[in-house]
Amino acid sequence: MPLVSMNEFLPKAKANKFAVGQFNMNNLEFAQAIMEAAIEEKSPFIFGVSEGALKYMGIEFTVALAQAAARKSGLPIALHLDHGSSFEVAMKCIRAGFSSVMFDGSHYPLEENIRITKEVVKAAHAMGVSVEGELGTIGGVEDDISVEDEHAKLANPEEAVRFYEETGVDCLAIAVGTAHGMYKGEPKIHFDIIEQVSSRIPVPIVLHGGSGIPDEAIRKAVQAGVGKINVNTENQVACTDTIRDVLGSDPKVYDPRKYLGPAKKAMIEVVRSKIRLFGSSNQA
């Protein structure tokens, strides 16, 4: 099966009150772990790729890995640019074979964010590619971008509705109290903002910073209108902790397969648990 846009499954997710996971792809083991867990659960999913990951893996290898997973699994898989910084980066990814892109203009004034996002949507939709937009500022650290908690800014519901109406994005990330990375304490998610926006637009809300949020809060967010949830840090932690354990227990290990294999298994467990939590099992 070829890669698909998020519109192959997000409308169904919103209508049936489940969420599709975006799991970031950082290397071969991440790609395989995500795919294998999704095959077991018969779930659609989204490969998220940040600009930092693109620089690390190379755009050709990134697309090839995603296409191989789509062919092997037979699942509806979207290859999605995560937090694209410009129109040019989004277009580069579309030309390379991405089936979905995000333009993150949340650091721009509202009018500028709307203007650029609208341009991305127009070009992407002409190619059958889905688009995610963002409003408000999400705290935490992702790649080289760091936003202190005091500088995070919640989305304004009225502005969010206007943003959707003027841009026509296929899903909308709004800042509701989550953060990138692992949480120091329990996050305070503003479910009222999710509900206010979701009830007035036909596309699902995106929850960034999905790692470490309590299960009950995830379920509540999905019922409120979240249809896409991003997870990366929990996979990174599971991968790295496992590698540390293997190397720490046997200093003679030097074959990468001996520690990357167990790391992949640990990530499969993370992805499987998230798919079940999000409710997307048997939705492929």
DSSP 54-95: HHHH-HHHHHHHHHHHHHHH-S-EEEEEEEE-SHHHHHHHHH
Pairwise CA distance, residues 273 & 262, whole Å: 17
Report pLDDT for 143.
58
Name the active-site residue from 82, 104, 144, 250: 82
Pairwise CA distance, residues 99 & 97, whole Å: 6
pLDDT beyond 50 at 22 = yes
Tell me the pTM.
0.92
* Amino acid type, 123: A
Pairwise CA distance, residues 194 & 203, whole Å: 12
Of the candidates 158, 83, 167, the residue with the CA atom closest to the CA atom of residue 117:
167
pLDDT beyond 70 at 139 = no
Report pLDDT for 188.
82
The reply to whether 82 belongs to the active site is: yes
| Per-residue pLDDT tens digits for 23-59 | 999 999 999 999 999 999 999 999 999 999 999 999 9
Report pLDDT for 210.
76
| Per-residue pLDDT tens digits for 106-120 | 999 999 999 999 999
